[in-house]
Chain A
Amino acid sequence: MSDLGELNRGTVPGAADPVRALLHRHHDLCRRAVDPLEIAAGLEAHGITDRTAARFRHRDVFSLAEELYARVPRDDDPPHPVPPGAAPRDRAALLLPLLPGAVCAASVAALRHTDGETRLYAAAGGILALTLALRAVLRRGPLSTPAHAPRPAATASWTCWLIGYALLGDGLLHLAITGGPDGPPDGTGGGHWPLATAPALALALACAPAAWTTQLFTGRARRRLGSSRGLEDFTASVRPVLLGTVALFLLALTALLATASALLDEPFALPGTLALGALLFLARLLTVHGFTHAPKVILMITAGAQATALATVFAARLPGCADLSAPVETLTAWHPAAVPALTCGAAALTLLVHASRRLPRASAHLPPGRAR
């Protein structure tokens, strides 16, 4: 704060330029100011009133501020230092995504080492624990939604359907084509209705790379915000980052799936799982940045397509409708996992195109607002 008492003693009455001392004292304020009113507000906050201004031969603080504003050279302004956009790093939130993988691995192990009624309880307990773990991951950390986004409406049920299909769907489809099913699944990979646990385990383990790559993308984009000159610049520089992020996630998912398949001694179901993983990752990435509409629609359409594929096979058993199952049977004969791979793959590609248009925009990285 200025010391007015000192100022009074320091300025000789009738000195040629009394404003000079004031200018020196408030140099920072005057240099930073974008208009005279800002200087006036700052001077008043330092206790300068109209009566003080009269000592500087000015009518009021405003005209004094105008003189100060006019007298400060402004040509050699250094560029304003861009504050590093360091997001607070939450260690717990970064380790939390490991939880669903651990829970899923424990559940799979429990399923393998139990049988009968105990296995049913183990399965129910595993599903409950996994749901809670996923909920925790989606509430906190890089995968949580911004506060101001509209409540994600019905994506959860569609996501559940897609994961359920990955677990049981292909088995059911093959059974239906061959005339089954004759009973509920027995919870093993080798029964008449096999349970594909490797893709589910790989997807649960992939929560961690998903969270970390999302964090990477957000951090990179924030850094690009500071360094780019215009919006076009920013968009052009963030698009490769987005594609790299998706590629990194898919690599991680492939590695996890290979490990899980080898450990559980199950077939390496790469296309279907990769497509589903990419779809879920892109949907979450869009939701995290506030774009909730497209993921919802795409997930709904994908789940609908899979349900339709199953329904056509069962509908073919009705008299006179035998041709209905022909497309699905042809596809399955071509590749056993063709239905999930094609539906999820097409959906993931659509979302990738959408994301590569939406996420590199600067408005996707607006500072989040507060929610009630």
Chain B
Amino acid sequence: MDNRPSRHHLFRLRSSRCEPPDQRRLPTREIGGAHVRIGLLTESGYPYVGGEGGLWCDRLVHGLDRHEFDVYAFSSGEAQEDAGWVPLPPQVRRVRTAPLWAVEDDGVVFGRRARRRFREHYGDLTAALCAADDPATPEADRFATAVHGLAALARYEGGLVSALRSETAVRALERACRAPGARRAAREARVPDLLTVAAHLECALRPLSLDWYEEDGLGAVDLCHATAGGAAALPALLAHHFFGIPFLVTEYGVRLRTHYLTRPDSPPAVRSLLAAFHGGLAAETYRRAAFITPGNTHARRWQERCGADRAKLRTVYPGMDPAPFADVGESPREADPHTLVWVGRVEPAKDLVSLLHAFAEIRAAEPKSRLRIIGGPSGPEGAAYLGHCRALAAQLFPDEADGPHAVGDNPVSFEELGGPGPATSADAHAAGAVTVLSSVVEGFPVGLVEAMLCGRATVSTDVGAVVEAIGGTGLVVPPRNPRALAGACVSLLRDPERRSRLGAAARARALELFTVDQNVAAFDGLYLETVARTPVRHLVLDHTGDPLPFAAPAEAHVPGHWTTDPGPRAVPRWAMDTPVPATETAR
């Protein structure tokens, strides 16, 4: 177990929950089963409790118990660090964490030569950010060279924190912005803009100052798996640069797109320079990655747009555990044939207002129909929206009482999971004959996949990854169109046979595409394929720790496929898609 204190006190190791070295499990060797040591790089997710995207990492690590995982995690805040870790399985050998949110000056003061090198590399970086977009520019690798140079500086001289916040850095940035050929928005940068950009770059380049890039750190793994783009992919990029370690990038939401949406009110100069930085980082990540696994077609399109090679793209859908939905999905019992169900977190993007308007039309056509809205609000905005929706529902559908003393009954009900109504989301979907999704903005629709696993017919709006998830097994209508939504719902309510046919097809599709098993198997295959393409660098040891002679054949030291005929190989591919270096490589 590696729990050395990190070199710069910027980083600390939490108490480690892995087994002590004497109880270390030896890798099991079996025929046909290669043992891969994977460096799993996460940002604000696994292994912290409740981190975003932590769940699929957890399932991945649990599912691949014959491999070994070293987890390198960035935390997103103090609250997260205090919340602690999820229980780690024995295949996680080492966990190293670093905060990206906290800056602590490590007191490293550069000497004259280091300062000069820093000025050169940072100047290159800023010049690459400020350069006008010109595809004919011969300096396409300038960004990468500068980042590698800064990383080498941080590795050999110590942390970059004070240098990145120094006057040298701000002046280099100003010089790059005022240089001839700089893009227009950069030329207009004022002093506060320069300071904002410098502070943001310092924040974004913090992974460079980590002490992970050593022979027994990231240098010891067989491959890196970055579970997000951006900051999490930066250590993988540097491990590839320093040690030649191949890496995979998984993106369920594209980081670059998030950056465009996070700072809409900043001055144009700030947005332009930061967009250039994140765009450059994404392009470099995609160029160097062995495989890129988008979580859906939407992410895939963004990645293609940012320069990802199609040959490296493998869409791996997020996996869901089908077990909780098996009872509902398999049971022949038909739910209440007049009930529509909406399940999810209530927020404005879900557009419940158009769902309520649509339900008014549905009720005009099918007076016995009911609508159950199941889910709690997300945040104060969601709570306000829920109140608005309740008021609208009360207006559209007044309570209908049988007599003067009876309690009125409303065809629209608002419930929460775990309340007096349904306990789990499987129960929620089971309560209705048709599941409706009325969002205007949606990433990968988890709720829809749950409904598919429950074998329910669905009506959804055409947003995000809905169409690729549902395929032909449900009805899809344009968003913000209550009439179309109502029409689709009425047609399903009136046709039980079609409902059951669509539900069965949806469940079959979900079981084939969106289960944990397919997700884990896909990553397992990608790991093995990546390792098979990489020359062996490590000495293979046997159980007693002695080197195993001839464990790796001589051909294994040659990159590329050596078991199959590579075909005509006039020019290797790596020579074609990398740009011609115009500047010196900073190895």
Residues of A bordering B, CB below 8 Å: 1, 3-5, 8, 32, 34-35, 37-38, 41-42, 44-47, 49-51, 60, 62, 77, 79-80, 82, 85, 147-150, 225-226, 228-231, 233-234, 290, 293, 361-363, 365-367, 369-372
Contacts and interface: CB of A to CB of B under 8 A. Distances in A.
A32 B478 contact: no
B400 interface: no
A367 B195 contact: yes
B170 A362 contact: yes
Interface stretch (B64-72, B263-271, B406-414): B263-271
A46 B439 CA distance: 11
Which of B167, B192, B194, B272 has the largest count of A CB atoms less than 10 A from its CB? B192
A149 B196 CA distance: 18
Contact of A229 (B105, B190, B272): B190
B384 interface: no
Contacts of A363: 165-167, 169-170, 195, 198
B501 interface: no
A interface, by DSSP: helix, strand, loop or mixed?
Answer: loop
B462 interface: yes
A228 B166 CA distance: 19
Given A35-B275, A47-B480, A369-B102, A362 B261 contact: no
Contacts of A228: 190-191
Given A49-B462, A363-B169, A372-B104, A37 B260 contact: yes
B167 A362 contact: yes
B interface, by DSSP: helix, strand, loop or mixed?
Answer: helix
B301 interface: yes
A45 B480 CA distance: 14
B192 A369 contact: no
B440 A60 contact: no
Nearest to A364: B167
Contacts of A60: 301
Given A3-B480, A42-B261, A234 B102 contact: no
A167 B105 CA distance: 36
Nearest to B193: A80
The 3 A-B pairs at the shortest CB distance, nearest first, are namely: A369-B103, A41-B260, A34-B272
Interface in B93-116: 99, 101-107, 109
Contact of B191 (A8, A79, A150, A225): A225
Contacts of A234: 191
Given A231-B174, A363-B165, A371-B103, A41 B257 contact: yes
Contacts of A233: 191
Contacts of A293: 109
Nearest to B481: A5
B99 A32 contact: no
Nearest to A50: B301
B475 to A, nearest CB: 15
Contact of B99 (A1, A62, A372): A372
A148 B195 contact: no
Interface of B: 78, 99, 101-107, 109, 133, 165-167, 169-171, 174, 178, 185, 188, 190-192, 194-196, 198-199, 202-203, 256-257, 260-261, 264, 267-268, 271-272, 275, 279, 301, 305, 440-441, 462-464, 467, 478-482
Given A363-B198, A367-B199, A4 B165 contact: no
Contacts of A229: 190-191
A38 B275 contact: yes
25 contacts: A4-B478, A8-B478, A34-B272, A37-B257, A42-B264, A47-B441, A49-B462, A79-B188, A148-B104, A150-B106, A150-B107, A225-B192, A225-B195, A226-B190, A226-B191, A231-B191, A363-B165, A363-B169, A366-B170, A366-B199, A369-B102, A369-B103, A369-B199, A370-B102, A372-B78
Contacts of B272: 34-35
Contacts of B102: 369-372
B260 A38 contact: yes
Contact of A37 (B107, B268, B275): B275
A292 to B, nearest CB: 9
A231 B198 CA distance: 13
A75 B196 CA distance: 25
Which of A35, A85, A365 has the largest count of B CB atoms less than 10 A from its CB? A35
A94 B244 CA distance: 56
Nearest to B169: A363
Contacts of B192: 82, 85, 225-226
Nearest to A62: B305
A370 B199 CA distance: 11
Contact of A148 (B105, B174, B196): B105
B479 A4 contact: yes
B381 to A, nearest CB: 14
Contacts of B267: 80
Nearest to B185: A34
B105 A150 contact: yes
Contacts of A51: 462, 467
B170 A370 contact: no
A50 B300 CA distance: 13
Nearest to B483: A5
A8 B171 CA distance: 51
B190 A82 contact: yes
Contacts of A44: 257, 441
Contacts of B264: 32, 42
Contacts of A3: 480
Given A37-B305, A82-B190, A370 B167 contact: no
A366 B185 contact: no
A366 B192 CA distance: 9
Contacts of B481: 4-5, 8
A231 B463 contact: no
A46 B261 CA distance: 11
Given A62-B305, A370-B102, A372-B99, A230 B174 contact: yes
A371 B191 contact: no
Contact of B463 (A47, A79, A147): A47
A149 B105 contact: yes
B256 to A, nearest CB: 7
Given A230-B191, A363-B166, A371 B478 contact: no
A51 B166 CA distance: 48
Contact of A365 (B166, B185, B195, B462): B195
Contact of B261 (A4, A32, A34, A45): A45
